[in-house]
Amino acid sequence: MTSASQLLTEPTPEWLNAHAQSLLQFARAARHPLGFALLDAEGEPEPGHLELYVTCRMTYSYVLGEQLGFAGSAELVEHGLTALDTVFRDEEYGGWFEAIDEFGVVDSTKNAYPHAFVILAASAAAIAGYELGKKILDDALHLFEERFWDEGVGQARESWNREFTSSERYRGMNSNMHVVEAFLAAFDATGDAVWRDRALGISQHMVAQARRDNWRIIEHFDEEWRPLLEYNADDKANPFRPYGSTIGHWFEWARLLENLAGAIGADAPAWLHEAAVALFDAGVEQGWNVDGHPGFVYTVDWEGQPVVRLRMHWVVAEAAGAAATLFHVTGDERYVDWYRQWWAYAQEFVIDESAGSWWHELTPDNQFSDTVWPGKPDIYHALQATQFAQVPVTPGLAKSLVQR
């Protein structure tokens, strides 16, 4: 009988691992005295401030890089962890600053989205044996539980001011999706089932809503978790809070739901897998090649029609990851077909063989664009995509690579 690993051979593991090495090499230039800078299209550091989420995602990437044998990864992990423990940390009020530069704090807002990436990076580092990673993880989990976690609804609040005295009324599914990712990593790092169980609660909320709305995930809510369907109607291509439903998140959720089911084991509720399949199928039907050109549209409206037709690199990366994960779970060869097709698309249009890394944004006809995501800020999505076919569904990527 043919195994899942034998069927997922295009692109080959050798090519994927070599590509991972090239991504890690490209991203080395992001090292900045204070953390990690965003990179431009040529791989040069962007001048100006540093973003918390980028420093976290780059630190996480080099934890993976160390397991993949990329030379110099350990120093880059230590550098990222030190930045999180010093210049990004708010020693007075707790938590981590949104953005800093050489002169100090640029944005003191405390947002759930980058704080979830603090947990992800610290969890991966802790799994890999970094004592500073364990310290940051303990602090981040305590802070998240105290400030962001809303036990009454089983979801994360979106953001606070620096002093944690005023909370934004908006609630977001994007940040909660990354909280699920972070909590699963924390479960891998600590063994504490509370993080896995909270990830299940968030997921149950999302699935119940998406099921009612033809599997189009509502991203924006008010503080009572009432949908805001017209949110950002005047800023449809917003990089973090776009109008409508975001196709890439359907695939990202599909993978995370299967990761969660794997973490729960034999007692995992059946709806996790059912929802993962439904979200995957909806993403294919409503997102892929729907406007006469290859690629995924960025967003759709509440009738499933394309709104923002730009092609974002992270969407095809997450789609390939979801296809690999669902094939590992089901053995259904249709996921192999999609996996190969999406990697072929990435190789033809998205991977920049000249300057390196992936174009982060393309026009609807797959030409370079930088209206929403200028440059090539980080390698988080692309790097993970090289590994999902090569690791089991559970534990998470960092722990799977450490144990391999």
**Is the pLDDT reported for residue 20 higher than 50?**
yes
End-to-end Cα distance, the chain: 23
Token readout for 191 is 């063994």
Is the CB of residue 200 less than 8 Å from the CB of residue 265? no
1 confidence band (pLDDT: 50, 70, 90):
very low
Q: Could you read off the pLDDT of 86-138 as tens digits, one per residue? A: 999 999 999 999 999 999 999 999 999 999 999 999 999 999 999 999 999 99
Question: Which DSSP symbol is given to 286?
Answer: H
d(CA 229, CA 220): 7
d(CA 29, CA 44): 6
One-letter amino acid of 321: G
- Unique residue bearing structure tokens 């947990």: 119
Is the CB of residue 243 less than 8 Å from the CB of residue 314? no
Q: Which of 115, 178, 220, 249 is catalytic?
A: 249
Other residues' Cβ atoms within 10 Å of the Cβ of residue 127: 25
How much is the pLDDT for 2? Answer: 42
**Is the pLDDT reported for residue 403 higher than 60?**
yes
Which element (helix H / strand E) includes 36? strand 35-36
**What's the mean pLDDT in 2-16?**
80
**What's the mean pLDDT in 224-236?**
98
Q: Could you read off the pLDDT of 166-221 as tens digits, one per residue? A: 999 999 999 999 999 999 999 999 999 999 999 999 999 999 999 999 999 999 99
How much is the pLDDT for 168? Answer: 96
Left if phi > 0, otherwise alpha if psi is -120 to 50, otherwise beta: which for 43?
left
Structural domains in the chain plus CATH codes: 4-403 (1.50.10.10)
Portion of the chain with pLDDT greater than 70, in percent: 99
**What's the mean pLDDT in 318-324?**
98
Max Cα-Cα span within the chain = 61
**What's the mean pLDDT in 34-52?**
97
Count the helix, strand and coil residues of the chain and give each as a percent rounded to the nearest 5: 55, 10, 35
328 catalytic, yes or no? no
- Nearest CA to 296 among 265, 317, 270? 317
**What's the mean pLDDT in 294-310?**
98
Task: Tell me how many degrees the CA angle 254-260-261 measures, rounded to the nearest 5.
Answer: 90
220 catalytic, yes or no? no
Q: Which of 178, 220, 313, 381 is catalytic?
A: 381
Is the CB of residue 163 less than 8 Å from the CB of residue 104? no
**Is the pLDDT reported for residue 384 higher than 80?**
yes
57 confidence band (pLDDT: 50, 70, 90):
very high
- Nearest CA to 276 among 260, 297, 299? 260
Task: Tell me how many degrees the CA angle 222-243-301 measures, rounded to the nearest 5.
Answer: 110
How much is the pLDDT for 6? Answer: 66
Query: What sections of 154-228 are H helices per DSSP?
Result: 173-190, 193-212
**What's the mean pLDDT in 373-386?**
97
Cβ burial of 81 (10 Å; 0-12, 13-18, 19+) is buried
Average pLDDT, the chain: 97
**What's the mean pLDDT in 3-30?**
90
Is the CB of residue 90 less than 8 Å from the CB of residue 97? yes
**What's the mean pLDDT in 330-334?**
97
**What's the mean pLDDT in 351-380?**
97
**Is the pLDDT reported for residue 263 higher than 60?**
yes
Task: Tell me how many degrees the CA angle 129-131-134 measures, rounded to the nearest 5.
Answer: 90
**Is the pLDDT reported for residue 224 higher than 70?**
yes
Is the CB of residue 394 less than 8 Å from the CB of residue 272? no
How much is the pLDDT for 7? Answer: 85
How much is the pLDDT for 3? Answer: 47
